[in-house]
Chain A
């Protein structure tokens, strides 16, 4: 019960994204992923950086499209939607040119921006109501 409340509070903080802290965190994560790919190439670092990226943008997307539904539904759908957005942006980038390291970074940045914009749009809509 306690962990659920903590998770729910964390989701609320991410959704509010005050001063774009989480959007900027996403960008920083993408930058770190890019640097890791070009220099260190540590899988442990890549995986640990990817988890917050998935969490932040997954929460943004689930809020943008489904609002506040049940807890499990909320988190899982966010991640599935993120996979879909990453897949479609990556698919388009690949068809237009390719998916080398720079283009993958671009894909991650576009996805993060898209997720943040959709979340803010939903926030405005919720506040208006």
Chain B
């Protein structure tokens, strides 16, 4: 059987686009590697100028492939590679990834990797039984176990495994999860593929997919719990309910926030499922309303309960944040949070765009869901819309009415974006389908046919990919920070490594917070052999302040006595403390007979040492 020539040509074009796409993605990875630097504040300072244009063209080609007929598995594979690329900027460009809390996570995980602790991570300085219980369940333990196992399997240092742990897991499993959710919502594989691609167009998902913290791992498992919730509502198979609970439990094991949100939406799913069963309408409506209200309040109340478990946080309800504020600022806070203070308009637009398109599609669907051909997906769609409303309400409560939260309420935007992504995919796929349908109609007509056909082909194959590609590419600029402190530099890492390999015994390092961050990454926190004071430790800060004023053997001896070590090192870095202070400290240290252990980064970092006399 031979294919019609038109189909053969179309296959040939799709194949050529695929090959060009693979080449451009490989080039993008190369450009990222070429941008790698030892010293930078943001990725934008050092990113190769050709990276964004190449990424833009590659994304446009991928969108063309996504909306063309073809092998779904292959499309998903390409989307996963693309997603890994988009989430790897920190890990490839910076020598030690982003300074975002992931260094502390790595510092703790390294203790497991180096076998310096038993029975996992307790996480907090005080070790009440309640904390140990909750930390075992919802601390960094799951990530610690997974990272350590992968590091040992691959025979790689935990440092490298940690850097790429979330970017790779996220790159693979978030598009796939988004694909599954969108397929459950729409029943269309092409909508699902588009949704899998567009989940990378949300700045907060880009950011959390680029840093290896437990919360990011929790987001991944949350997405699958969401999928099983939707499946639970459309099937009578009892095993689906177990999976729904299992993934929610895993989200909780990975991170408290993801777990609590998963369980609150699980309550809502049960409410929706019971609504479909036979019974009195008013009772079912009341049950659904109770499920909604409970789902909204589970998260805020869980934060209040944290202090009962002995966590050193005091979360309270308050109206202080909005007292005296004009109404428009209250609405602004509710919708955008702290973004309304000092961020540029493009940033706000990019953060909101996906959610707004998702919300508009939801509203449109509400009016259309009565139609017979959509009945099958009605429950899933209503569930996702209600979950979206729950998260909006939760964000408002956390942002406006709560004080002392241990995390930013903006993290809820990742959940919100996960819920919006399938609707965004649906919206753009509908536009593409509508254009295709119009194209068919216009092709059949004789009047001004060429003009109409070329106009619609332009819209379908050029405009839609360009607009979506521009959105994904611009979202990177909002996802990766434009302003940041100097990231951990290569010479700080070199200094920490050199000290660790050359130290004669147990040692302590006196340094600023940035030195501590570098130390955490290489030797871990609370390492009894290589002592770095924790970043919040006042003793460490005081010792460094004393050394800044007068670098002396006495202060170093004091540090050794406090930490029961035999050698003390003092690290001072020029870009961290400024030229004047740096040269003054180095000069004073030399005057006071402190030995130079080494100079790193072309003299930007000095290490002094003093060994206890026996």
Instruction: Give A28 Cβ to nearest chain B Cβ, in Å.
Output: 14
Contact, CB under 8 Å: A99 / B149: yes
Instruction: Give A53 Cβ to nearest chain B Cβ, in Å.
Output: 7
B-chain residues with CB within 8 Å of residue A95 when the two chains form the complex = 119-120, 136, 141
Stretch of B151-159, B319-327, B355-363, B597-605 at the chain-chain interface: B151-159
Interface residues of B in 188-232 (CB under 8 A from A): 221, 224
* A95 vs B152: C-alpha distance when bound (angstroms): 18
**Shortest Cβ distance from B249 into A: residue:** A88
* A87 vs B155: C-alpha distance when bound (angstroms): 18
A-chain residues with CB within 8 Å of residue B153 when the two chains form the complex = 33, 46, 49-50, 53, 104, 108
- B426 contacts partner chain A, Cβ-Cβ < 8 Å: no
- A113 contacts partner chain B, Cβ-Cβ < 8 Å: no
**Shortest Cβ distance from A33 into B: residue:** B153
Q: A37-B155, A80-B173 are in contact. Are A98 and B118 (CB under 8 A)?
A: yes
Interface residues of B in 115-164 (CB under 8 A from A): 115, 117-120, 136, 141-142, 144-146, 148-149, 152-156
Contact, CB under 8 Å: B119 / A98: yes
* A91 vs B109: C-alpha distance when bound (angstroms): 12
A-chain residues with CB within 8 Å of residue B115 when the two chains form the complex = 98-100
Interface residues of B in 306-327 (CB under 8 A from A): none
Interface residues of B in 438-487 (CB under 8 A from A): none
Q: Among the listed B112, B149, B250, B253, which residue makes an inter-chain contact with A86, where contact means beta carbons less than 8 Å apart?
A: B149
User: Which of B71, B141, B152, B173 has most A Cβ within 10 Å?
Assistant: B152
* A45 vs B154: C-alpha distance when bound (angstroms): 8
* A46 vs B76: C-alpha distance when bound (angstroms): 27
Q: Among the listed B73, B118, B155, B172, which residue makes an inter-chain contact with A97, where contact means beta carbons less than 8 Å apart?
A: B118
Q: Mark A64-94, 1 if CB is under 8 A from B, else 0.
A: 0100000111001001100110111011011
* Interface residues contributed by chain B, number (CB under 8 Å): 36
* A43 vs B161: C-alpha distance when bound (angstroms): 11
**Shortest Cβ distance from B221 into A: residue:** A84
Contact, CB under 8 Å: B73 / A47: no
Contact, CB under 8 Å: B176 / A76: yes
Contact, CB under 8 Å: B119 / A84: no
* A86 vs B149: C-alpha distance when bound (angstroms): 8
Q: A94-B112, A97-B118 are in contact. Are A84 and B152 (CB under 8 A)?
A: no
**Shortest Cβ distance from B217 into A: residue:** A87
* A45 vs B153: C-alpha distance when bound (angstroms): 9
Q: A41-B155, A104-B152 are in contact. Are A98 and B73 (CB under 8 A)?
A: no
Q: Mark B231-245, 1 if CB is under 8 A from A, else 0.
A: 000000001000100
- A96 contacts partner chain B, Cβ-Cβ < 8 Å: yes
Instruction: Give A55 Cβ to nearest chain B Cβ, in Å.
Output: 13
B-chain residues with CB within 8 Å of residue A87 when the two chains form the complex = 142, 145-146, 149, 250, 253
Interface residues of A in 33-60 (CB under 8 A from B): 33, 36-37, 40-43, 45-47, 49-50, 53
B-chain residues with CB within 8 Å of residue A53 when the two chains form the complex = 153
Instruction: Give A64 Cβ to nearest chain B Cβ, in Å.
Output: 11
- B169 contacts partner chain A, Cβ-Cβ < 8 Å: yes
- A10 contacts partner chain B, Cβ-Cβ < 8 Å: no
Instruction: Give A38 Cβ to nearest chain B Cβ, in Å.
Output: 10
* A42 vs B113: C-alpha distance when bound (angstroms): 17
A-chain residues with CB within 8 Å of residue B250 when the two chains form the complex = 84, 87-88
Q: Among the listed B119, B156, B224, B246, which residue makes an inter-chain contact with A96, where contact means beta carbons less than 8 Å apart?
A: B119
Instruction: Give A79 Cβ to nearest chain B Cβ, in Å.
Output: 8
Contact, CB under 8 Å: A91 / B253: yes
Contact, CB under 8 Å: B155 / A45: yes
- A107 contacts partner chain B, Cβ-Cβ < 8 Å: yes
* A50 vs B422: C-alpha distance when bound (angstroms): 33
B-chain residues with CB within 8 Å of residue A86 when the two chains form the complex = 146, 149
- B558 contacts partner chain A, Cβ-Cβ < 8 Å: no
Q: A36-B155, A71-B73, A72-B72 are in contact. Are A104 and B141 (CB under 8 A)?
A: no
Q: A72-B73, A91-B145, A95-B136 are in contact. Are A46 and B156 (CB under 8 A)?
A: yes
- Given A65-B239, A97-B118; 4 other pairs, CB 8 A cutoff: A36-B155, A40-B155, A72-B72, A83-B146
Supply 14 A–B pairs (Cβ within 8 Å), ascending by A.
A4-B73, A33-B153, A37-B155, A50-B154, A65-B243, A79-B172, A80-B176, A87-B253, A88-B250, A96-B119, A98-B112, A98-B115, A98-B117, A99-B144
Among all A-B residue pairs, the 7 with the closest Cβ atoms: A90-B145, A46-B155, A46-B154, A104-B152, A91-B145, A72-B73, A50-B153
Q: Which residues from chain B sit less than 8 Å from chain A, CB to CB?
A: 71-73, 76, 112-113, 115, 117-120, 136, 141-142, 144-146, 148-149, 152-156, 169, 172-173, 176, 180, 221, 224, 239, 243, 246, 250, 253
